[in-house]
Amino acid sequence: MKKIVFYSIAVISFCIGSKLSVNAQSTTPSIVLSKEEQKIIQYIDANMPRAIALLKESADINSGTLNIAGVRKVGAIFAREFEKAKFKTKWIPMPDSLRRAGHLVASTGFNNAAIDPNKKNKIKETAKINKGKKLFLIGHLDTVFEPDMPANPFTMLNDSTATGQGVTDMKGGDVVMIIALQALQEQGLLKDANIIAYLTGDEEHAGNPIEVSRGDFIETAKQTEIALAFEGANGLNSVATARRGASSWLLNVKAKTGHSSGVFTPYAGYGAIYEAARIINEFRVQLSTEKYLTFNPGVFIGGSEMNYDETKATGTAIGKTNIISPAVVVTGDLRFLTEEQKLNARKKMQTIVNESLIGTKSTIQFEDGIPSMAPTEGNDKVLEVIIKVTKDMGVGPTVAGDPGSRGAGDISYIAAYVDCIDGLGSSGKGAHAPGEIIHLNELPYLIKRAALTIYRLTR
């Protein structure tokens, strides 16, 4: 492809109406984009009012994870927009027992066979003919804001900032993905592309069991090569090449009970509360300085009689100061960057648990939650493409963000199968809190970054 150099158009185009924190002209003197890429940029600039209207339309529908009708409504709006980009759409329903809305899947290329598990061979044949990488784009339709929480209609706070439910987590990200695809479609640049966009309806509170709520998501992703997720962007020049995983643990301590005057003696022992305190403190002493590893006890209950209800994360305890406590329950989380780090931490925690004080006996159970998206060479290769895109756009290189700054996300479920990048969505502040905002002045830049990245990966 013939690369041409031009100076003024793109510099102006992504600064229009904005106070970008990146000064394009000072970063590099020239902008190197192909003719097709310039057209993509121009389309996005011309369609920004439509992008913001779509954001407002989707944010003004409450789609709390448990609001099934609301999530489906948002799904219908985005399906309409994918269809404008000539994508085929379908709805993946969830069994009633999960109490979740389901997921929106939109695809182009693959002859739409990609989302039909019975036609796997056909997919392979089709993909061979087509050029470029097979992409899996990830968004979500739900937000943390349920209908019984205070409403926050889409409102402009000033000329470049808006608030609304899920504006940046992640209806803004969905809009970035959709407008980028429409820009490519409009220039006829998706003809040979194989792209599946998967917008889950329960990212904020995934339905149980995960095998059901994420089964189709995982199987569909396996038919692709690179996953791009549109969760919130951490600044203009950063994407996520890794995300930590989350899991949980439950510590059960049993001990001899008796009169408190005998505590610390060989016959009465130390009681469950001292033993649980030893274990938790030892976790901190031995493991708290390991990079990217965190664990937090969330509930700690002990006494002479105690009850813990795991499903409701609630409990009661009765005790007297002159009785040695016979029972304690502690629950906590465990966040990690790699599977290896998780397993090593569990091993050390198990060893600490086994070193029981006299008169006590403890067990710890570990439960997997969301896997991690570990940093890989493959992810770095995709990052290189994005670095080139942002350099060519004249805004300097993109860097890999700190994995410790992000929680777990949908992309983590498939990180073991495809190369992954997250954080390609919109930029804002206050996700998961009332008054969440989106920086609209950065939105055109982020849509262009996404569009050019998808364009180059599918060549």
- Min. distance of Cβ 290 from Zn ion in angstroms? 27
Name which of 56 and 140 has its Cβ closer to Zn ion.
Answer: 140
Q: Least separation, in Å, of the C-beta of 438 and Zn ion?
A: 13
Question: Among the candidate windows 164-172, 207-215, 253-261, 318-326, which touches Zn ion by CB under 5 A?
Answer: 164-172
- Compare residues 54 and 387 and give the one whose CB is closer to Zn ion: 54
Stretch in the footprint of Zn ion (CB under 5 A) among 156-164, 169-177, 265-273, 315-323:
169-177
CB of 332 to Zn ion, least distance (A): 23
Closest CB 34 distance from Zn ion, rounded Å:
33
Whole-Å CA distances, 416 to 241, 351, 419: 13, 29, 8
Residue 324 Cβ vs Zn ion, minimum distance, rounded to whole Å: 47
**Residues 100, 207 contacting (CB under 8 angstroms):** yes
DSSP class of residue 83 equals: H
Secondary structure (DSSP) of 103-140: EEEEEESGGGGGG-GGGHHHHHHHHHHS-S-EEEEEEE
Distance of CA 35 to the CA centre of its chain: 34
Spatial contact of 405 and 246, defined as CB atoms under 8 Å apart: no
User: Do 413 and 214 meet the contact criterion of CB atoms below 8 Å apart?
Assistant: yes
Candidate segments 166-174, 269-277, 355-363, 434-442, binder of Zn ion by CB under 5 A: 166-174
C-beta closer to Zn ion: residue 64 or 359? 64
| Pairing label, strands 134-140, 194-200 | parallel
Nearer to Zn ion, 170 or 443 (CB): 170
Residue 256 burial class via C-beta count within 10 angstroms: exposed 0-12, middle 13-18, buried 19 and up: middle
Nearest alpha-carbon partner for 427 in 19, 8, 10: 19
400 binds Zn ion (CB under 5 A): no
Q: How far is the CB of 170 from Zn ion (least distance, A)?
A: 4
**Of 127, 200, 237, the residue nearest 411 (C-alpha):** 200
Q: Could you give the dihedral angle defined by the CA atoms of residues 231, 72, 116 and 131, in that order, rounded to the nearest 10 degrees?
A: -40
Q: Which is nearer to Zn ion, 126 or 372 (CB)?
A: 372
Closest by CA position to 443, among listed 200, 210, 170, 218: 170
DSSP letter for each residue of 235-279: STTEEBS-B-EEEEEEEEEEE---BGGGTTSTTT--HHHHHHHHH
| Stretch of 161-169, 210-218, 257-265, 325-333 lying at the interface with Zn ion (CB under 5 A) | 161-169
Looking at beta carbons only, is 170 or 193 nearer to Zn ion?
170
The span of 30-38, 61-69, 82-90, 226-234 binding Zn ion (CB under 5 A) equals: 226-234
- Please, which residue, 113 or 228, has the CB nearer to Zn ion? 228
Do 323 and 317 meet the contact criterion of CB atoms below 8 Å apart? no
Binding Zn ion (rule: CB under 5 A), the pick from 170, 178, 273, 277 is 170
Q: How far apart are CA 148 and CA 144, in angstroms?
A: 11
Q: Does 169 bind Zn ion (CB under 5 A)?
A: yes
Give the count of residues interacting with Zn ion (CB under 5 A). 3
Across-strand partners of 178? none
410 interacts with Zn ion by CB under 5 A: no
Shortest separation between residue 240's beta carbon and Zn ion, angstroms: 12
Query: Minimum distance from CB of 207 to Zn ion (Å)?
Result: 16
Closer residue to Zn ion, CB minimum distance, 186 or 231: 231
**Shortest CB 176 distance to Zn ion, Å:** 13
229 binds Zn ion (CB under 5 A): no
Nearer to Zn ion, 228 or 328 (CB): 228
Stretch that binds Zn ion, among 101-109, 167-175, 292-300, 391-399 (CB under 5 A): 167-175
Nearer to Zn ion by Cβ, of 22 and 170: the residue is: 170
The piece of 186-194, 225-233, 244-252, 362-370 that touches Zn ion (CB under 5 A) is: 225-233
Distances (CA, A) of 66 to 168, 227, 313, 409, 436: 19, 26, 19, 18, 20
Q: Which is nearer to Zn ion, 329 or 408 (CB)?
A: 408
CB of 163 to Zn ion, least distance (A): 16
C-alpha closest to that of 221 among 111, 114, 91, 112: 114
436: contact with Zn ion by CB under 5 A: no
DSSP letter, residue 168: I
Residue 431: CB minimum distance to Zn ion, A: 7
Of residues 80-109, those binding Zn ion (CB under 5 A):
none
User: Within a 10 A sphere around the Cβ of 211, how many other Cβ atoms?
Assistant: 8
Are residues 295 and 249 in contact, defined by beta-carbon separation less than 8 angstroms? yes
Contact footprint for Zn ion (CB under 5 A): 169-170, 231
